[in-house]
Amino acid sequence: MYKIKWVGAQIELKNTTLKIKDAGANEIEIKIGEGTLTYDEKRIMEYVRNRQLLDSVREGDQEPMDVSFEFKWEQLRAVSTSGAGTPTLEDALKQRGEAAAWVSTSDDICEPYCVDIEIINTPDCGSEIAETIILPDFRYESLGHDVKAGVVSVSGRCNATEAIVTRP
């Protein structure tokens, strides 16, 4: 028996909008000048061979998606309906400070805090169509930033096996 994994994508984030949302109407919207988004979609298939012939194929256990993004932001706007002040990007990912009242996107109250990441990729002039990539139930694992340079680096996992990609 052997297993195969499929790998996701690396996307250039130029002239892109990134939104971090909770289950309510709270969100942080970031206009990105340049950067990259990488995610690994893990679909594990198990191939069982019998006497060197393919006997059966079955889908294996699901694994969360690994996600990382690094970007230089140009503009940041936060909307909070919780009555608190304006949360920072770090507060929204860590559910602290002004984002402490945010509600997790998970329906299970025993699940760790998570947010939805939505990336609206609008290409420069040309015939390409904009696309929206949604990474549901994102939980950060590492966060680095240089406020003076406007650079952010985040990695974590989504509680999903594939990204939701839509094109209008």
Query: Is 22 in contact with 104 (CB distance < 8 Å)?
Result: yes
Q: pLDDT at position 127, please?
A: 52
Dump the DSSP string for 99-167: GTTPPPS-S-TTSPP-EEEEEEE--SSSSPPPEEEEEEEEEEEEEEEETTTTEEEEEEEESSSS-EEE-
Q: pLDDT at position 168, please?
A: 67
Q: Enter the pTM of the model.
A: 0.77
Q: Which amino acid belongs to residue 7? A: V
Tokens of 1: 């028996």
pLDDT of 1 higher than 70: no
CATH topology of domain 9-39+63-166: Thrombin, subunit H (2.40.10)
Q: pLDDT at position 97, please?
A: 85
With vertex at residue 168, the alpha carbon angle to CA 21 and CA 135, rounded to the nearest 5 degrees, is 30
**Could you tell me the residue ranges of all domains in the chain?**
9-39+63-166
What is the spatial distance between Cα 64 and Cα 74, in angstroms, rounded to a whole number? 30
pLDDT band of residue 56 (cuts 50, 70, 90) is: confident
Task: Tell me the C-alpha to C-alpha distance, in Å, between residue 36 and each of 14, 18, 84, 137.
Answer: 8, 12, 31, 20
Over residues 136-151, mean pLDDT: 89
Q: How far is CA 155 from the centre of its chain?
A: 9
Beta bridge partners, 131, equal 121
Q: pLDDT at position 82, please?
A: 61
What is the spatial distance between Cα 79 and Cα 154, in angstroms, rounded to a whole number? 21
pLDDT in tens, 74-104: 888 887 666 667 788 888 899 888 888 787 8
